[in-house]
Amino acid sequence: MSSPLAVPVPFLLHYPGSSVDDIAVFCVAVLVAVTVSAESQGFAATFLGDRKTGGGKRFHFNCFLHLDPIGTLCFFIAGFGWARGVEIDASQFKHPRVYLVLSRLAGPMGNFMAASMAASVLALLGSLGYEDKTFSSLVVVNLMTAVYGCICIYPLPGWSVLSVLLPGFSRGETLARYGRIGGPFLLIAWFFLARMSGKDMVGAVLNPLIQSLAGFLAAPMNLLS
């Protein structure tokens, strides 16, 4: 049975070759994905006790203020990316190491929930006989952001897991320099070379998982179509 999603998994733009519609819906999905990721991390941190930076620095829902230049570029190269870093003061937490991980991983969880809600709308539209590329793009891009966001490389949310497992290593000067400068460029270089060569070892592992998740979320659409 073919997928009811109107875009492929992963959803990658081609240069040239992508239609104006593809570019438009992809950009909308990117703006939603970065906003959901950043706001989810900010909400979780505030809920768990970090209210020091609070307010407008986190909860402005302005998607453009959440865009990270390199993270946005990664979306257009690899189909996933990351939001601008959300300030979290772990010293405000009752259990700093655990709550920091929970706050960061709230980003991928928020993206998964956004994908689930978009799939629900698609199911409703499908029952009415409509095929919508915008909501299909929201499903795929949010799933890509959620799954790839769990990789333990800075500045992805999954980095927090490594920083907790190796607290001494994470405080080292070399690692800190790598995290702030090298991490984003390493990700960009890796996925750019992977796309140019057609050999993406990371995608070979993660993309089938994303396809399975997309199929799971799309299951109600199959029942209604």
Among 31-35, 130-134, 154-158, the range of highest mean pLDDT: 31-35
Q: Chain-wide mean pLDDT for the chain?
A: 86
Two structure tokens written together for 79: 């189909």
Q: How many CB atoms lie within 10 A of CB 172?
A: 11
* pLDDT higher than 50, residue 170: no
Two structure tokens written together for 201: 């070892």
* Residue 69 domain-assigned (yes or no): yes
Q: Which of 55-64, 119-128, 153-162, 169-178 has the lowest mean pLDDT?
A: 169-178
Domain that holds residue 118: 20-224
* Residue 70 domain-assigned (yes or no): yes
Angle at 67 between CA 38 and CA 195, to 5 degrees: 105
pLDDT tens digits, residue range 111-153? Answer: 999 999 999 998 888 788 787 899 999 999 999 999 999 998 8
Q: What is the pLDDT, as a whole number, of residue 131?
A: 79
* Residue 14 domain-assigned (yes or no): no
Number of compact structural domains in the chain? 1
| Mean pLDDT of the 45-53 span | 83
* Residue 3 domain-assigned (yes or no): no
* pLDDT higher than 70, residue 202: yes
Dihedral angle computed from the Cα positions of residues 2, 32, 151 and 133, in that order, rounded to the nearest 10 degrees: 10
- b/e per residue 140-169 (b: at least 16 CB within 10 A): bbbbbbbbbbbbebbbbbbbbbbbbeeeee
Whether the CB-CB separation of 155 and 73 falls below 8 Å is answered with: no
Instruction: Please give the residue that has the higher pLDDT: either 67 or 16.
Output: 67
* Residue 5 domain-assigned (yes or no): no
Sign of CA dihedral 22, 185, 99, 203: positive
Q: What is the pLDDT, as a whole number, of residue 178?
A: 60
* Residue 15 domain-assigned (yes or no): no
Q: Provide CB contacts within 8 A for 205, sequence distance 6+.
A: none
* pLDDT higher than 80, residue 183: yes
pLDDT tens digits, residue range 35-48? Answer: 999 999 999 999 99
Q: What would the 3-class secondary structure string for 140-169 be?
A: HHHHHHHHHCCCCCCCCCCHHHHHHHCHHH
Q: Is 207 helix (H, G, I), strand (E, B) or coil?
A: helix
* pLDDT higher than 60, residue 222: no
Q: What is the pLDDT, as a whole number, of residue 34?
A: 97
101: left (phi over 0), alpha (psi -120 to 50) or beta: alpha
* Residue 7 domain-assigned (yes or no): no
Instruction: Please give the residue that has the higher pLDDT: either 101 or 170.
Output: 101
- At 29, is the pLDDT very low, low, confident or very high (cuts 50, 70, 90)? very high
